[in-house]
Structure 1
Amino acid sequence: MPAFEYNFPAIRGIQAGREYYISMCPLRLIPRIFLFDEDELNPELRAQRILNKSRIPEMARYLLANPKDYIFSALTASIDGKVKFDAMGDEKTERTMGRLRVPMNARFIINDGQHRRAAIEAALRENPDLGDETISVVFFMDVGLERSQQMFADLNRHAVRPTKSLGILYDDREDDSIIAKALASKVPVFVGLTELERSSISNRSLKLFTLSGIYSATRTLLNGIELPTVEKKIDLAAEFWTTVSGYIPEWQLAKERKASPAELRRDYIHAHTLALSALARIGNQLLAKNLRAWKSKLKKLDSLDWSRGSSHWDGRAMNAGRLSKKTVNVALCANFIKKHLGLKLTAEEQQLEQDFRREQRGKDKAA
């Protein structure tokens, strides 16, 4: 018996004929026990566990900003070592509860949750008081870590990330999510025409917008706009989108069930998130200048030809006959709309136009 060992209160279970254990570990122990040293892993394990370090600060901020209202799911780990489980007693219920004794020379490897482990470590550096909180850990026995690679694959095989729209729908913490949900129920043309759960719209859907599309476009619209409350931001964004919708009659026809959303998506640029994003870029510039007459600047939208077949969308919204949602395409569409509205392009936008026209001339010569 080793002189020193970890001693975890645990519940014992059986999966695929093998014992596993569930324990509650104080957060302060997580970085100490579950070391993440890529050099100690063989290449196959290391390749599947490379940390995306850009995710860590955001996860740590979530933990620090919500000390009374955060949720972290369980970690899953393999133990390479000779462990012993001391049951509470001999009764059936007592045999499943007890203490898991793990020698200190045992190796631990996280099969699921390495980003949570790193975020906990980062958060503890700023707020050590979080160390008294606990997180559940599922321990699997894996001498030699021979099963660890397959366990990693199995744990992630059936993992399905929620759609962006669904994540926004269920998020009552982030301001941008709150704003997007409010707009979906406040802007007349969005009401009833917004897909709340999926981030894409099927061909037969009666929806015209997605919650994720409204979310992304409105983030662009309000970027850098200083307002005292979320309610004020909602009011301004609702006013903007309501004004825009008044100059796009097909949206109103869809609202009144006089036009098919599927046909609008087939025939018009404005029936796609690309157009919302482009309009939001323009709106942000108008609002940032504190133009009281920003509404009047949008009036010419009602004379804009939004049809996908119009040649002025070639290379801007349409590439080889297909709609493109790349950032550069959003910017090129915004440029065209700005020129139609009689608005001046910024120096950056002018450069983008020059590059675009040069590229188009090259394509014409090649043809």
Structure 2
Amino acid sequence: MANKHYVIALHRTFAPIIGGVEKGTIISAHAELDAARANVDKHNRYNHATLHKPMFGIVESHTVLTKGEAYPELADKVLADKYDADALHAMKCVLNPSWRGGRPVTDEEIGWMIEPLGLSLDLLRIRYEERAQAELDALYVDRITLAEQTARVRAVGEALASERSQFSYSFPAVAGMQAGRAYYAAQVPFNVLVKLFTFDDEEAVPAHLRAQRVLNERRAEAIGEYVVENPTAYILPAITASVSAEMTFEPVPVPGAGGRIGVLHIPIEATMLINDGQHRRRGIEQALAARPDLRDETVTVTIFFDQGLERSQQMFADINGKQVKPSSAINALYDRRNPFNAWVLSVIDVVPGLRARIDVENNTVPAKSARLWSLIAFKKFLSLLTGITEANVTTLDEARLREIDGFVAAFFDACATHIPGWRAMMAGDISAYEVREGMVIGHTVWLEALAVFARRALFTGYLVDHNNPEEGIIRPDLALWERMEALAKVDARKESRMWAGRCVVLGKMQKTSDGVKGSAIRLLRLANVSLTKDQLALEKRLDA
């Protein structure tokens, strides 16, 4: 019978749902070690346990242990084994701070390892130095052996490539299996990719297949420019291709690889057709034209044996039909090369508590989310409020951006001071769900209306941009902050008549252009700020 992995309490403590448990109590049993580890981590987090003083551990046993029963002697053994392993690890770090590879362990870090053991450095040496040195010596021998094997593998690969170069194309590759079919992930140099892999050759690709894969030159150019402009930071996903002739795979002996690492040989007469990634291939071609020094850079090409046109068409449909486009919010969060995105994210960090209220994953905030506004909605709010857009953000120097950051932080502080319910909403004293259900101030339509109000109320009367305060980037030093005081008159309830027919229609929030502008007009009237001609016309229409 296979051993089972049991989660065990190492001390008298508490477990979720179960409550108080005695030392040695078996909490759960698992067939897989990973599942047991996940459960241990959960229970230790629940008890705020530390790495050096865990409250729960794992016992591996072929003997059946009863859930709920206490086995204190097993808990003692787990603790003793952990102590021994921690002490041995600390001793290795004393003997060789770089033994794990990467950054060397500092003396301070070693001190933190030794302190929980209750041992002096001399006593640690007496008890563990001999074993630690023996393990380090064995590790060194293993590394030398691996280095020698790697050198032999490289030599074999070079010999194979030379031997077969007159008959086939050869690429270092990893072999895999999907749906019972072999495939290979090959590392292909840029210059080889554009010469050998096709996607629009009239003889190689029938017209009805090419009709599915019309090349968008602008998209390809954008990829090429991206590679050229970011030569040390670009990332290109794998390309998928079909090969029309039978390939051979020459594995090389790498320990633990199971024959999956080797050299892929493709006959010279084979047609290599790209099923997915034609724009990347074209973009690489254009990048090479601008930067020939990129020729030896590589891209992964996932290669399948071509089983005919029907199979190639199905591969194209399977790959492209199952892709899920990431949300605009996720793109905005991750795309730090976009200066506007980078500025918006910096503003979020400037305003206390704001990050917890912004949903950076979804374009629309889910009904039961603890967030209030999506990142996309907040970006639009900032543009309405400040006049900064993707088009003009690069015209501002760092000092001006920081000045506007300060303005946004001061604006949110003023909202907390004057708008009823705002401070409690931002602090989470009122849940986001309750805000959405009963108030207007946590909805996107009202946030945009607030920006439109502030834009006109705080800056009307000054020459912001050629006598038109509705355009251009704000001047924070000209803000009329006293006009924010009028927001104390806001009735934040959704059922208030103040919002009927504007952002609330038939008792439900409504996000429309008239809803935003009509709600902004309500706020401007509270502050006794004059309306534009367009606003006056809209007010007349909404009140009719």
The bucket for the TM-score relative to the shorter chain is 0.7 to 0.9
1:336 pairs, out of 521, 529, 533, with 521
What secondary structure does 1:214 align onto? helix
What secondary structure does 1:218 align onto? helix
2:410 pairs, out of 239, 244, 250, with 239
Q: Distance in 1 between the 2:266 and 2:286 partners? A: 28
**What is the TM-score when the length of structure 1 is the normalising length?**
0.74
Aligned partner of 1:117 in structure 2 is 281
Identity %: 28
Distance 1:179 1:144, change over 3 A: same
CA deviation string 1:71-93 (max 9, x = no partner):
221111223x1143252569995
Distance 1:84 1:52, change over 3 A: closer
Aligned partner of 1:72 in structure 2 is 236
Moved more, 185-194 or 88-97: 88-97
What secondary structure does 2:173 align onto? strand
What secondary structure does 1:25 align onto? strand
Q: Is 1:255 aligned to 2:441, yes or no?
A: no
Task: Please tell me whether the aligned partners of residues 268 and 306 of structure 1 are also in contact (alpha carbons under 8 angstroms).
Answer: yes
Q: 1:267-306 counterparts in 2 under 5 A?
A: 267-280=438-451, 285=470, 288=473, 290=475, 292-305=478-491
**Offset at residue 137 of structure 1 (A):** 0.8
Q: Is 1:82 aligned to 2:261, yes or no?
A: no
What is the total number of aligned residue pairs between the two structures? 352
Task: Please tell me whether the aligned partners of residues 176 and 219 of structure 1 are also in contact (alpha carbons under 8 angstroms).
Answer: no
CA deviation string 1:193-250 (max 9, x = no partner):
3334444433333332334433343355322364311545533433344334444332
Task: Please tell me whether the aligned partners of residues 22 and 138 of structure 1 are also in contact (alpha carbons under 8 angstroms).
Answer: yes
Q: Distance in 1 between the 2:501 and 2:192 partners? A: 55
Aligned partner of 2:397 in structure 1 is 228
Task: Please tell me whether the aligned partners of residues 34 and 110 of structure 1 are also in contact (alpha carbons under 8 angstroms).
Answer: no
**Offset at residue 108 of structure 1 (A):** 0.4
Q: 1:1-367 counterparts in 2 under 5 A?
A: 6-37=169-200, 40-41=205-206, 43=208, 46-47=211-212, 49-50=213-214, 55-56=219-220, 58-79=222-243, 81-85=244-248, 87=250, 96-104=261-269, 106-111=271-276, 113-156=277-320, 159-220=323-384, 221=386, 222-223=388-389, 224=392, 226-229=395-398, 231-280=402-451, 285=470, 288=473, 290=475, 292-305=478-491, 307-309=493-495, 317=503, 323-325=509-511, 328=513, 332-333=517-518, 336=521, 339-340=524-525, 342=529, 344-345=531-532, 350=534
Distance 1:100 1:353, change over 3 A: farther
Distance 1:233 1:272, change over 3 A: same
Task: Please tell me whether the aligned partners of residues 420 and 490 of structure 2 are also in contact (alpha carbons under 8 angstroms).
Answer: no
Q: Distance in 2 between the 1:206 and 1:144 partners? A: 51
Distance 1:202 1:331, change over 3 A: closer
Structure 2: gaps spanning 5 or more residues: 1-165, 456-469
Task: Please tell me whether the aligned partners of residues 174 and 184 of structure 2 are also in contact (alpha carbons under 8 angstroms).
Answer: yes
Distance 1:141 1:334, change over 3 A: farther
Q: Distance in 2 between the 1:333 and 1:61 partners? A: 44
**Offset at residue 166 of structure 1 (A):** 4.1
Distance 1:185 1:102, change over 3 A: same
Counterpart code for 1:144: G
Q: Distance in 2 between the 1:233 and 1:97 partners? A: 57
Mark the structure with the bigger radius of gyration: 2
Structure 1: gaps spanning 5 or more residues: none
Distance 1:288 1:16, change over 3 A: closer
Distance 1:8 1:258, change over 3 A: closer
Q: Distance in 1 between the 2:282 and 2:448 partners? A: 34
**What is the TM-score when the length of structure 2 is the normalising length?**
0.53
Counterpart code for 1:332: K
Moved more, 66-75 or 192-201: 192-201
Distance 1:188 1:122, change over 3 A: same
Distance 1:121 1:296, change over 3 A: farther
Moved more, 10-19 or 168-177: 168-177
**Offset at residue 135 of structure 1 (A):** 1.0
Counterpart code for 1:106: T
Distance 1:233 1:148, change over 3 A: farther
What secondary structure does 2:234 align onto? coil
Distance 1:175 1:89, change over 3 A: closer
Task: Please tell me whether the aligned partners of residues 179 and 233 of structure 1 are also in contact (alpha carbons under 8 angstroms).
Answer: no
Distance 1:78 1:330, change over 3 A: farther
**Offset at residue 256 of structure 1 (A):** 4.3
RMSD, aligned α-carbons: 4.2
Counterpart code for 2:275: I
What secondary structure does 2:441 align onto? helix
